[in-house]
Structure 1
Amino acid sequence: MAEIEKIAVIGAGVMGAAIAAHGANAGALVVLLDVVPGAARKAIDRLAKTDPAPLMSKRFAARITPGSIEDDFDLLADCDWIIEAVIEDAAIKRDLYARIETVRKPGAIVSSNTSTLPLAVLCEGLPPSFRQRFLITHFFNPPRYMRLLEIVKGADTAQEAINTVVNFADQKMGKSVIACRDTPGFIANRIGTYWLHCAVTEAIAQGIDVETADALIGRPMGIPKTGVFGLLDLVGLDLMPHVLGSLENALPSDDAFHALGKAPDILSRMIDDGYTGRKGKGGFYRLNAKREKEVIDLATGAYGPAQRPVPAAVKAAKAKKGKGALRAMMSHDSPEGRYAFSVIGKTLSYAAALIGEIGDDIDAVDRAMRLGYNWKYGPFELIDRLGAHWLAQRLSAPPSFLSAVGEGRFYRVSAGRLHRFDGSGYIAVTRPAGVLLLEDVKRRTRPLATNGSASLWDIGDGALCLEFHSKMNTINPLTLAMIARVVKIGPRALVIYNEGANFSVGANIGLFHYAGKFGLWPFVRWMVKRGQRVYRALKHAPFPVVAAPSGMALGGGCEIVLHCDAIQAHSETYIGLVEAGVGIVPGWGGCVEMLSRWAVRENAPRGPMPPVMKAFELIATATVAKSAEQAREAGFLRPTDGATMNRDRVLFDAKQRALKMVEGYMPPAPQPLVLPGPTGKAALVLAIHDFVKRGLATAHDETVALQLARVLSGGDCDMTEPLEADRVLDLERDALLRLAHTPQTRARIAHILKTGKPLRN
């Protein structure tokens, strides 16, 4: 199989530039061309300013070479993959392809990022040599963060070309690649656009207000809290007429999409008035001059204060919980319940009716909706939660595929493996080589040990997996107990990993809040010391330990990562010691580990003060690295630690890394620290006072920073005598407890627990 080392992207608009950025993230050299001279250079410059950042490190911009189509077309000659991302006009695209064919090297692959034009139309009149190397690669925006990549091949596309792109997209770009048929909207946008359009038109027809609709077609369905109208504001209302018009023109007259009708008039009026969503003056939601949230009345177009209603149907779902919650909401005898059923029922029916047209694999459809629209459950997983038979009985004309499953389920577990319904029977859901999912491990085995916050799983070859599963994977006494237990078990190797949205957001500060509220300071001291002992025991355990974080690894979650022998992080790991934001300092060894990392970092300045300054900068400002690459730059990851682009491959890669460390493994030897003592603290104090004078730090920020300065400088130590790590841990613990007693820190903790946002006091 050919390797992709150099990519070209033609079209330096928002999407084209973002695809180029992600090609650079994947380690490829990238050429970015645009029809407008200078546009590609400006697009690259914007990448560094865009939030969320398209680049995993600003350094990666150097991998992108800008140019213009007229002057630099010859730069395509040595590219392995050429991605077209120009205007959605078939004639313009075909002209471009004909020109590409004159410079493309033998074997180079060409793809289009189109989401509206059929591949057969794009290839009309082009030679077989081009058609054999051409396909559609539909990225979702933003390409770095959206894991879905839909691929469409033509009748003439060579399988080797497909394999080459799939392999690169999977392993280097971190994509979940789904093969789609050459049908309008492919999979995710075909179902997703129907769902959005249905939710809006039904809300208008049934007199359901925007907030109520989002409360119903949101979290109870496993949809992000934006709901439908909030999602439309996010993606841009001005995009919808184009998407709806494209499907309206492309779909056959008997498709259920047409029964939903045209785009509602209110949509065009809002767009004309500049209400295009968050990128405009607002959308269905807006902020008034006082920064108060307002919501539009779908009947009148007037804005009024947001009410944040909790419909009775949603209350019924919350009371039911579990798999029966969605059915309880959809069957609730109220206008809201009827609205929920009309939208969800029609959407699930539409998805079932498309099996055989957009694809045959329900698992692929479910993954497309989970990854492309951030649904927690795909359509067929939702049907299983409702009950296929129940849904079919409620629909006036259930699709044949839904009826075929009868009173059964679309998914079932047999012999420890997940199987999917294919219309007549069940076939096993397969995983690509190199993919190991904890959810699959759980289907075939039971935990070796478990409690309410953590579990131990056998992942084969003598390796165990420590999984956190408390709320947001916070660390609490139960978590610490399980860590201590695995140290006693002594596996061949250990991986710390879970499949939650976040690895761990840190210690459960709610315990600190209540302990402080009721004066349970001995408990706080015990928990801090217990965490220090358990983390140190893990660090010096007689077996290799590999952390495999993904998502947020903050505070105590970051600290456990820092105590592992090695890290195999998902590329989208957001890691940092954020304790200063809640008015404390790291108390489970975070200070010790950051000092140790920067003391031995290659090419870093030597001496006792540079590591202290760097650790102070990172911890005092609660710096969070926004990628594994940034984490490496900040020192949270060592140069030897690894990063895996594809989320589904993290556990496998971490396990392999741990097993390779087994032979001849020796726990790390204690590493005394050389710290500057009072002299170093004095230098930090000057910097702290300067920040306060300039208005860059609050009074309590100063208090926290002064305590941190004492910890990092080593207290009253003598810089000529190495300081044992245990002494710095004592300083950590004393500083944390001293700060936890202050009213300001307790106010910060209470505020973040209530609002989820930090308090600056």
Structure 2
Amino acid sequence: MADKSINKVCVIGAGIMGAGIAAQVANAGVPVLLLDIVRDEDNRNSIAEGAVAKMLKTDPAPFMGKRAAKLVETGNIDDHLDRVAECEWVIEAIIERLDIKQELYAKLEKVRKPGTAVSSNTSTIPLVQLVDGRSDQFKQDFLITHFFNPPRYMRLIEIVAGPKSDPDTVAKVSDFVDRQLGKSVVNAEDSPGFIANRVGTFWIQAAVNAAFDQGISVEEADEIGGRPMGVPKTGIFGLVDLIGVDLIPHLKNSLTSTLSKDDPYQAIARNEPLIDQMIEEGYTGRKGKGGFYRLNKGADGSRVKEAKDLKSGEYRAAARPGLVRGRAAKGDLAALIEAEGKVGAYAWAVLGPTLSYAASIVPEATKTVVGVDDAMKLGYNWKIGPFEMIDRIGAGKLREKLAASDIPVPAILEQVGDGTFYRVENGKRRYFGTDGAYHDVDRPEGVLLLEDIKLSSKPLLKNGSAALWDVGDGVVALEFTAKMNALDEQVMKLIQKSIALVKSDYKALVVYNEGSNFSAGANLGLALFALNIAAWSEVEKSIKGGQDAYKALKYAPFPVVSAPFGMALGGGCEICLNSDAVQAYAETYIGLVEAGVGIVPGWGGCGEMLTRQLENPRHGQGPMPAVSKCFEIISTATVAKSASEAKDLGFLRRSDGITMNRDRLLHDAKVRALAMVDGYEAPEKPEFRLPGPTGAAALKLAVESFRIQGLATPHDETVAAELAHILTGGSTDITETVTEAQMLELEVESTMRLVRNPKSQARVEHMLETGKPLRN
């Protein structure tokens, strides 16, 4: 059996994809050798070096932290190809030309160790052509690993094994990209375009064609073909702008040249003169001068969003059509395709052919309907996959409508009859196979999902904003359930009830959910309502209630592990700070952002962050360096852009864990919690020695300087003064001890002074209306 470990990787090709793949390998803590051709004799490694330098400046960042970049070693193919012998996996990500790839493989055969995995990141060239002329050993070690751009953020990887690929080698690479690179593996067949790009390209082409043919504006197309269909809010033309208008003809040419002549895509693939003109003039989307949308300066100098008129080709002010209403607007696909007028006509022109096509590629492109659905959800960010869409519409109804529209009815759609492609039996989700039978949707070992647990159980506790679930082995999971997983009084009440239940019947608690984000923080809508009616006692009660709940978790007689992901802001950050440990998804964006809405952290965040900064040996002797750092982070509403960066900022401790694969987060957090059970003791309550008013004066002086320079607003100065008052311990001095309870009281007092300030109230209202901070 082949060695299962991958300790070093070589990526050949330092373009956007190759460099991005190398960065993600480095993000996983694995050394990577990045090679490209020699272009500059004075610096033969210039291409690879330039790619790394560019990535360090790119936003969104390919690297999760600057330390990761140090794991990328650069070189060139001419001088350093023999160093692939140091690596267990070689990834080829060079130009999509078969002759150039085969030339590289011939060189690799001479220098790599037998058993070293070799894969191509191709999205268009069949595997059998890639390995033509290579040795049997090379064919055994070869596979396709198709990453999606950008490699750090896109979770999908399509893996294609050839007829001679060694199963152990394929398993080794699959396990590595799953556990260490954080990707969800979808096994694809060796067919043109594989899965996601084949369906996705068809979908985009069908949607663009229908807009031109039906006289639909780009805004109308994006409204109808966006959120109501369960696809990203960009819709069709917004997505084309995002990925690049110039990519459309490239994808078309790629697929038409490799698909069979009778493939349905061949019938809809066409060029639009307007798109050709846009590309020629540099209107290639967000990376160019604009695309189907652009931002332009209005008469008053403000930025105005404009949209391309598909008939005239000219730009005009973008409109908000407001066409989709009722059940259709809420994701009822059956209602959407039956809607009257242009809404139903356009929705059907997109969905009908796309769902037919998606169903037609099973089992040619992938063996199961699950593969198609996962590929589209992970690769194109659809909320539900094509076969899940069919279940919502109804297979029988779709079949009738396809036949009436002279759109092919695929065999698997005939086969399922009036049944569904997914159903739940005995608490297990099952899918309809090409053999006419239902099969369990299996999860890889180490994947534990709350959505699966919910199929066979009910919550132990539940209210309008939270629920508590038994996740096995004596561990419970606290789930936030409100919109944006916002935190309110109901969450705090359920926390207190959960603590009592875990004390008597369970071993540990994990804070976890499967929303789009961990938590956006406190419910600002409720807060604004209380402020508008001057319900000051209720506001204070809410602050103290949050403090009581979070500290009850912190000092509970059992381990508490938070498992954040996505945004963990404000109160969402503070619950992590008050946990015994954190097991964070690598893509966690965590921070105390209260200053942006004119207040300060009020649920223990100030004291907890201060504790972490005081524990940091880099801050040396005395409290002021730690206080200053804490003040800087909180006053500027700094948000970590990864879990790795969160450790650098102190939102996470060095001992906290990071999970690369989102689907493994609950399992890893549960394992972490169980490991802490034996001999568990609640932490001791911290005490602080802080500088008091003299320290606060120094911090306020710094903010005043920023205001004079125009870098801070007058109200920033007000908020910062309250934060300085808390972090320096109020009226204390360095000879006195400040308890945690006193720190909490300082948080309450400062927050109450700020919420009474009309400028803070304006910030809260502006954030609710626009989603952006008000600079007043």
Hey, what does 1:617 align to over in structure 2? 632
* Structure 1 segment 396-407 matched on structure 2, within 5 A: 396=403, 397-407=408-418
DSSP-derived class of the 1:714 partner: coil
> Are 1:331 and 2:338 matched, yes or no?
yes
Cα shift at 1:338:
1.1
Q: How big is each residue's C-alpha offset from its partner over 1:476-513, in whole Å with a ceiling of 9 and x where there is no partner?
A: 11111111110111231000000011000000111121
1:600 to 611, 615, 620: 615
DSSP-derived class of the 2:125 partner: coil
Hey, what does 2:65 align to over in structure 1? 57
Cα shift at 1:746:
0.8
Hey, what does 2:349 align to over in structure 1? 342
Provide the TM-score with structure 2 as the length reference.
0.96
1:420 to 431, 443, 468: 431
Hey, what does 1:742 align to over in structure 2? 757
Cα separation, 1, equivalents of 2:555 and 2:134: 64
Cα separation, 2, equivalents of 1:632 and 1:656: 21
Hey, what does 2:95 align to over in structure 1? 87
1:18 to 5, 20, 28: 20
Hey, what does 1:477 align to over in structure 2? 489
Q: Which amino acid aligns with 1:545?
A: V
Q: Are the equivalent residues in 2 in contact too, given 1:188–1:365 (CA < 8 A)?
A: yes
Cα separation, 2, equivalents of 1:687 and 1:145: 37
Hey, what does 1:6 align to over in structure 2? 8
Q: Which amino acid aligns with 2:325?
A: K
Q: Are the equivalent residues in 1 in contact too, given 2:700–2:717 (CA < 8 A)?
A: no
Cα separation, 2, equivalents of 1:693 and 1:316: 52
Cα shift at 1:226:
0.3
Cα separation, 2, equivalents of 1:306 and 1:400: 42
DSSP-derived class of the 1:288 partner: strand
Q: Are the equivalent residues in 1 in contact too, given 2:550–2:575 (CA < 8 A)?
A: yes
Hey, what does 2:546 align to over in structure 1? 531
Cα separation, 2, equivalents of 1:427 and 1:161: 27
Q: Are the equivalent residues in 1 in contact too, given 2:114–2:137 (CA < 8 A)?
A: no
Hey, what does 1:434 align to over in structure 2? 446
2:325 to 304, 315, 318: 315
Cα shift at 1:71:
2.2
Q: How big is each residue's C-alpha offset from its partner over 1:514-558, in whole Å with a ceiling of 9 and x where there is no partner?
A: 111111111111101111111111110111100001100000000
DSSP-derived class of the 1:357 partner: coil
Cα shift at 1:318:
4.9
Cα shift at 1:655:
0.4
Hey, what does 1:282 align to over in structure 2? 290
Cα separation, 2, equivalents of 1:115 and 1:535: 49
Hey, what does 2:163 align to over in structure 1? 155
1:361 to 359, 368, 378: 368
Hey, what does 1:134 align to over in structure 2? 142
DSSP-derived class of the 2:158 partner: strand
* Structure 1 segment 29-44 matched on structure 2, within 5 A: 29-35=31-37, 36=39, 37=44, 38-44=46-52
Cα shift at 1:639:
1.0
Q: Which amino acid aligns with 1:365?
A: V
1:113 to 113, 121, 124: 121
Hey, what does 1:722 align to over in structure 2? 737
Alignment gaps of 5+ in structure 2: none
Q: Which amino acid aligns with 2:450?
A: L
Hey, what does 1:376 align to over in structure 2? 383
**Number of aligned residue pairs:** 756
Q: Are the equivalent residues in 2 in contact too, given 1:539–1:667 (CA < 8 A)?
A: yes
Alignment gaps of 5+ in structure 1: none
Higher mean C-alpha displacement, 120-129 vs 493-502: 120-129
Cα separation, 1, equivalents of 2:186 and 2:534: 55
Cα shift at 1:201:
0.5
Hey, what does 2:247 align to over in structure 1? 239
Q: How big is each residue's C-alpha offset from its partner over 1:611-632, in whole Å with a ceiling of 9 and x where there is no partner?
A: 2111101100101001110001
Cα shift at 1:272:
0.5
DSSP-derived class of the 1:758 partner: coil
Q: Are the equivalent residues in 2 in contact too, given 1:203–1:210 (CA < 8 A)?
A: yes
Q: Which amino acid aligns with 1:419?
A: R
Cα separation, 2, equivalents of 1:554 and 1:605: 29
Q: Are the equivalent residues in 2 in contact too, given 1:599–1:606 (CA < 8 A)?
A: no
Q: How big is each residue's C-alpha offset from its partner over 1:218-252, in whole Å with a ceiling of 9 and x where there is no partner?
A: 00111111001000000001111111101011111
Higher mean C-alpha displacement, 629-638 vs 327-336: 327-336
Higher mean C-alpha displacement, 618-627 vs 77-86: 77-86
Q: Which amino acid aligns with 1:661?
A: M
1:408 to 419, 428, 432: 419
Hey, what does 2:693 align to over in structure 1? 678
Q: Which amino acid aligns with 1:188?
A: A
* Structure 1 segment 508-519 matched on structure 2, within 5 A: 508-519=523-534
DSSP-derived class of the 2:110 partner: helix
Cα shift at 1:603:
4.2
Cα separation, 2, equivalents of 1:530 and 1:606: 35
Q: Are the equivalent residues in 2 in contact too, given 1:232–1:277 (CA < 8 A)?
A: yes
Q: Are the equivalent residues in 2 in contact too, given 1:208–1:336 (CA < 8 A)?
A: no
Cα separation, 2, equivalents of 1:472 and 1:606: 41
Q: Are the equivalent residues in 1 in contact too, given 2:256–2:269 (CA < 8 A)?
A: no
Q: Which amino acid aligns with 1:680?
A: G
Provide the TM-score with structure 1 as the length reference.
0.98
Q: Which amino acid aligns with 1:359?
A: T
Q: Which amino acid aligns with 2:418?
A: E
Higher mean C-alpha displacement, 541-550 vs 603-612: 603-612
Cα shift at 1:365:
1.2
Cα separation, 2, equivalents of 1:391 and 1:649: 36
Q: How big is each residue's C-alpha offset from its partner over 1:296-329, in whole Å with a ceiling of 9 and x where there is no partner?
A: 1112211111111111xx103357x46xx22111
Hey, what does 2:317 align to over in structure 1? 305
Percent identical: 54
DSSP-derived class of the 2:697 partner: helix
Cα separation, 1, equivalents of 2:372 and 2:410: 16
Cα separation, 1, equivalents of 2:106 and 2:751: 67
Hey, what does 1:582 align to over in structure 2? 597
Q: How big is each residue's C-alpha offset from its partner over 1:620-668, in whole Å with a ceiling of 9 and x where there is no partner?
A: 0101001110001111111111000000000001001111111111111
1:209 to 213, 217, 224: 217
Hey, what does 2:304 align to over in structure 1? 292
Q: Are the equivalent residues in 2 in contact too, given 1:316–1:329 (CA < 8 A)?
A: no
DSSP-derived class of the 1:685 partner: helix
Cα separation, 1, equivalents of 2:580 and 2:326: 48
Q: Which amino acid aligns with 2:699?
A: L
Cα separation, 2, equivalents of 1:606 and 1:515: 43
Q: Which amino acid aligns with 1:632?
A: K
Q: Are the equivalent residues in 2 in contact too, given 1:316–1:332 (CA < 8 A)?
A: no
DSSP-derived class of the 1:266 partner: helix
DSSP-derived class of the 1:292 partner: strand
Cα separation, 1, equivalents of 2:658 and 2:616: 19
Cα separation, 2, equivalents of 1:705 and 1:101: 62
Q: Which amino acid aligns with 2:431?
A: R
Q: CA RMSD in A?
A: 1.1
DSSP-derived class of the 1:149 partner: strand
Cα shift at 1:263:
2.4
Cα separation, 1, equivalents of 2:682 and 2:488: 26
Cα separation, 2, equivalents of 1:280 and 1:543: 55
Q: How big is each residue's C-alpha offset from its partner over 1:668-702, in whole Å with a ceiling of 9 and x where there is no partner?
A: 11111111111211211221111112211111111
2:471 to 436, 447, 459: 459
Cα shift at 1:606:
2.8
